[in-house]
Amino acid sequence: MQVFKTLVVALIVVISTGNLIAQSKLILSGKWTCPYEMEGEKGIATYEFKEDGGAINAYSLLFETENGSTYSDNDIVLKDIDFSDGKGKASCIVKEDGEIYEINAQLTLINSNTLKIQYSAWGYSEKEIWKRKK
């Protein structure tokens, strides 16, 4: 009987985890944009959440500068996303001087089309507002 109870609990955990991943994927799915300023250059970045082996990650897709230049990208920017009830956490991937850093980030869904991402590194706090691309 104990083996049966253990199997039932394990099955419930697997189903619950699958449901959370599916809900997170549905809530965060699609393409998102965010204004950026890098080395004095301003523009718009486009990101997309994708499922990778059961995990939800965000990738950069395109950067468009104010002067009209564009360049494509496919780098992971948020990984190991744990998201439910409009809040979550992730590892924010930052490239600086040829090095790659993973920084803890907090995610908050302000509404169905607005996601706030906050992280701190090197004594600076950053906040990005991503808007769902229509």
Residue-wise pLDDT for 29-58, tens only, equals 899 999 988 788 899 999 999 988 888 899
Tokens, residue 125: 């706090």
Instruction: Map out the domains of the chain as residue ranges.
Output: 2-132
Q: What is the phi/psi pair of residue 75, to 5°?
A: -95, 145
Sequence-separated (6 or more) residues with CB below 8 Å from residue 66: 41, 42, 43
Fold of 2-132: Lipocalin (2.40.128)
Residue-wise pLDDT for 80-106, tens only, equals 999 988 999 999 998 888 899 999 999
- Among residues 92, 121, 107, which one has the least CA distance to residue 24? 107
